[in-house]
């Protein structure tokens, strides 16, 4: 395990190193005088969201009553693409940890790295730099808050799997005699309220409000330091959560607590686009994309009233090899996904206790079964193993929609970059994922 190093001890070294790296940033090395300087920076990572996901979402959101396929929110903010490869030691296909480290620090690293370089040495993130400069900082994610992406902005560890140690570092590491993040919202009580150490109590003893349900969060006065953990690990899937737009809810509430005359740096992660891709679950993928779309619509409105705010959205990589159309058939049918009331996983769990599993699944999936569908779904319900039922139901939906997948893992394709607000022009064209962090550092150092 990586030896713990105080964030404070890194600042002087990384400030000097970071400036040298930025001077040689290639495409991202632009003259700041030609860019509008943001006061607030909001980084949105849609984990696993390759280009096929945004295209699929446009078709999913389309109004079939009109002849045109309507634009969606992503269409109005696209600025370019980014390469995603990790450090050479890990080849061409990144995991979430190496990609998040690149996005957070501007440094390529190996798969599994959390805020460390290829030699396992800690590197400063843009969030940590913002905190050092006196901005308020926060994260809002639908995974556990010590998962790979948020951890890479907040911590340093040689392995993303060291969840307890990463959670400990959120409390133990300090910048300017304060914690790294002022607002932390997502899942993860299993890692923060442990038998060996109750981090929730420690944060509460040090001025944070600890909340564990959405209603509590909504009642906190603006400007509060908050630790909000709403599930043992990740949040429920969007299709199963009490609030299907929980990411936009967390985002709105986090900003309420981050706003400050000095500005803020805020990481938002649509974590479970990736989880749906790993599971090859097209229903959940579109629900997670819808949650992200609502979040981006809110952020667009926020920037209209706060024009000194920059918002950048990208993916860390693509997951699942999603294809819109499969088996040589030139069709895709998102109408089978638009009225789902529960995730395939939830349906697979609950259908076995129903007197008529097919009738139950028909209601939950939200479309009328055809002649052979009921018998097929009843036979799926008879499978004794949950995973077998879940896999069969996903295959049923893939057949209905004509959705294809190439893998249960990641792919190495470039991902889209979206930006709007102050300084958004700096993110146009073909980028590398490290260029995003380098430009953020540039903005922060120009304050």
212 in the same domain as 340: no
397 in the same domain as 417: no
64 in the same domain as 93: yes
pLDDT surpasses 50 at 187: yes
342 in the same domain as 201: no
pTM: 0.92
Question: How many other β-carbons are positioned within 10 Å of the β-carbon of residue 117?
Answer: 17
307 in the same domain as 357: no
416 in the same domain as 397: no
277 CB-near residues (< 8 Å, 6+ apart): 48, 53, 285, 318, 319, 320, 322
Q: Are 306 and 38 in contact (CB under 8 A)?
A: no
Structural domains of the chain, count: 2
**What are the tens digits of pLDDT across the range 231-286?**
999 999 999 999 999 999 999 999 999 999 999 999 999 999 999 999 999 999 99
Query: Coil, strand, or helix at residue 116?
Result: strand
Q: What is the mean pLDDT of the chain?
A: 93
Q: Is 326 a member of any domain?
A: no
CATH code, domain with 390: 1.10.60.40
Catalytically annotated residue among 90, 96, 152, 345: 96
What's the CA gap between 84 and 414, in Å, rounded? 6
Question: Containing domain of residue 379, as a range?
Answer: 333-401
Active site residue 96: yes
185 in the same domain as 44: yes
Strand ordering across the sheet containing 415-421: 209-211, 226-229, 183-187, 136-144, 264-270, 40-46, 309-314, 415-421, 78-83, 429-432
363 in the same domain as 316: no
The pLDDT assigned to 194 comes to 98
**What are the tens digits of pLDDT across the range 145-156?**
999 999 999 999
CATH code, domain with 161: 3.40.720.10
Give how far Cα 56 sits from Cα of 41, 61, 207, 345, 406, Å.
Answer: 28, 9, 44, 21, 16
Q: Are 197 and 239 in contact (CB under 8 A)?
A: no
What's the CA gap between 59 and 45, in Å, rounded? 22
133 in the same domain as 195: yes
Q: Is 246 a member of any domain?
A: yes
């Amino acid at each position: 395990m990586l030896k713990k190093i105080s964030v404070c001890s890194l600042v002087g070294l990384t400030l000097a190193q970071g400036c040298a790296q930025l001077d040689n940033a290639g495409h991202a090395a632009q003259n700041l005088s030609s860019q509008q300087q943001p006061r607030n920076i909001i980084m949105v990572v849609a984990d696993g969201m390759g280009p096929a996901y945004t295209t699929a979402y446009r078709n999913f959101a389309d109004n079939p009553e009109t002849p045109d396929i309507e634009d969606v929110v992503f269409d109005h903010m696209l600025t370019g693409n980014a390469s995603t490869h990790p450090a050479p030691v890990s080849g061409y296909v990144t995991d979430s940890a190496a990609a998040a480290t690149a996005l957070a620090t501007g440094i390529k690293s190996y798969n599994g790295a959390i805020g460390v370089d290829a030699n396992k040495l800690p590197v400063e993130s843009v969030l940590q730099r913002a905190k050092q400069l006196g901005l308020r900082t926060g994260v809002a994610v639908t995974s556990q808050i010590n998962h790979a992406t948020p951890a890479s902005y907040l911590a340093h560890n040689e392995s993303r799997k060291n969840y307890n140690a990463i959670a400990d570092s959120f409390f133990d590491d300090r910048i300017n005699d304060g914690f790294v993040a002022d607002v932390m919202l997502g899942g993860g009580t299993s890692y923060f309220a442990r038998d060996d150490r109750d981090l929730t109590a420690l944060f509460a003893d040090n001025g944070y409000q600890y909340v564990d349900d959405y209603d509590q969060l909504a009642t906190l006065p603006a400007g509060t330091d908050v630790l909000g953990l709403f599930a043992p690990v990740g949040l429920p899937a969007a299709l199963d959560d009490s609030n299907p737009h929980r990411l936009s809810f967390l985002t709105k509430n986090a900003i309420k607590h981050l706003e400050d005359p000095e500005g803020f740096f805020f990481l938002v992660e649509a974590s479970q686009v990736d989880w749906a891709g790993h599971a090859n679950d097209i229903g959940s993928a579109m629900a997670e994309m819808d949650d992200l779309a609502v979040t981006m619509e809110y952020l667009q409105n926020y920037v209209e009233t706060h024009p000194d705010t920059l918002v950048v959205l990208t993916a860390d990589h693509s997951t699942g090899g999603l294809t819109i159309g499969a088996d040589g058939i030139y069709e895709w049918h998102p109408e089978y996904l638009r009225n789902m009331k529960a995730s395939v996983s939830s349906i697979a769990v609950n259908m076995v206790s129903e007197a008529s599993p097919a009738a139950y699944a028909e209601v939950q999936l939200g479309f009328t079964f055809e002649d052979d569908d009921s018998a097929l779904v009843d036979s799926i319900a008879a499978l004794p193993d949950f995973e077998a039922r879940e896999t069969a139901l996903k295959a049923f939906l893939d057949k209905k929609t004509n959705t294809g997948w190439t893998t249960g893992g990641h792919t190495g394709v470039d991902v889209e970059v979206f930006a709007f607000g102050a300084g958004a022009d700096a993110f146009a064209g073909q980028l590398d994922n490290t260029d995003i962090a380098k430009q953020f550092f540039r903005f922060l150092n120009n304050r």
